[in-house]
Amino acid sequence: MNASQFKAQCLAVLDEVARTGETVVILKRGKPVARLTGPSDEKCAVPQDTLKGTVDFLGDVLEPVVPEDALEILSESSS
């Protein structure tokens, strides 16, 4: 939906999203600038709770990204 159309019909669009739960993407000059979605059904204590279940851990999050031997090589080359 173009931003000008959204501006003119804002309250009706809000009502429609609340009724159907359908997401509306708002465009400005043909490029997406916002996404309007209905409220979450879940009651969250903190906003971060809405992210629960959206992250996949692909490895050990506590391990260094660069192997230790690579760090030694880097520190030797800067000396």
pLDDT of res. 7: 95
Interatomic CA distance for residues 41 and 57, integer angstroms: 26
Interatomic CA distance for residues 45 and 54, integer angstroms: 17
The mean of the pLDDT values for the chain is 84
Whether 9 has a pLDDT exceeding 70, the answer reads yes
> Each residue of 18-56: pLDDT tens digit?
898 899 999 999 999 999 998 776 666 777 777 888 888
Which residue range forms the structural domain that includes residue 48?
Answer: 3-77
pLDDT of res. 72: 75
* Predicted TM-score (pTM) of this structure: 0.51
Residue 34, strand partner residues: 26
Q: How many CB atoms lie within 10 A of CB 6?
A: 20
Number of domain units in the chain: 1
